[in-house]
Amino acid sequence: MRLVIIGPGRAGGSLALAAAKAGHEIAGVVSRRPGQAFGPDISLDDPLPDCDVVFIAVRDDDIANVAESLVPVLGGAATVAHLSGFVPVAALSGLQRHDVAVGGFHPLQSLPDPETGADALRGSYVGIDGDPLAVDALIHLADTLGMVPFRLEDAARPAYHAAAAASSNFVVTSLAVAADLFAAAGVSAEVVRPLVERVVANVFEKGAEASLTGPISRGDIETVVGHLAAAHEVSEEVGTQFSLMAEATAIRAGRAEDRRKWR
């Protein structure tokens, strides 16, 4: 396939590198910083090269504007798709009047940089939806990248993307707070890696409720109070973050009333 990438940042760059490794051709790259070696530099001031898919890989707030700017330069593009998990495919509907199929292609994976992200795409799930022609092209691309496609309709995107954010960023926040507490205790955070990996496996194997353990789920109030005090001793920021996560855990564990006893 011939692909054009608009916005070769972490997501767009990851896709460009992975696609090139899989034998696809990057026909052009539109970037604010040309010369990043993802493919030939092109401009939206000129007609786009003939391609199978144009990927819009910019910030969510900019997707509609970029789509509008494509109208006079579409050339021989067959499909235009964005990489957002939140923005609806309908944001690209203006392009349909110009005989272009539109779609969405959201890799459900953490992409911290293009090199790491390109390797991480294989085996990852990817949410796909759009016009039939676009869906066919995007599923084919996903298959060649070793990704697992699933349908992601516009109405489901807000809840889906919130779930994705919770699954990744909330985990990062909790581990960052844990690392601060380990540092205060003079212990390397590496010691907790087997525990974290086992807990994550438990959640997928047994479910969240069955995997929840510890003093909050048991109702050990004095222990929880001690944890909160230790977190606040590290810093006000760590204490606040720990307190918020403790309250969320109490609600999940069915012990929301215990929160009054912590204060």
pLDDT in tens, 128-159: 999 999 999 999 999 999 999 999 999 999 99
In angstroms, what CA-CA distances link 58 with 35, 111, 218? 18, 14, 45
If pLDDT is split at 50, 70 and 90, which confidence band does 54 have? very high
Architecture of domain 2-152: 3-Layer(aba) Sandwich (3.40)
The answer to which of 5-14, 27-36, 80-89, 217-226 has the lowest mean pLDDT is: 27-36
pLDDT for the residue numbered 171 = 95
Does 2-152 match 159-262 in CATH topology? no
Mean pLDDT, range 213-220, rounded to an integer: 93
Q: Tell whether domain 159-262 is in CATH 1.10.8.
A: no
Q: Hey, where are the domains in the chain? A: 2-152, 159-262
113 pLDDT more than 80: yes
Q: How far is CA 243 from the centre of its chain?
A: 26
By the 8 A CB rule, do 31 and 41 touch? yes
The token pair that represents 171 in the structure block:
């985990």
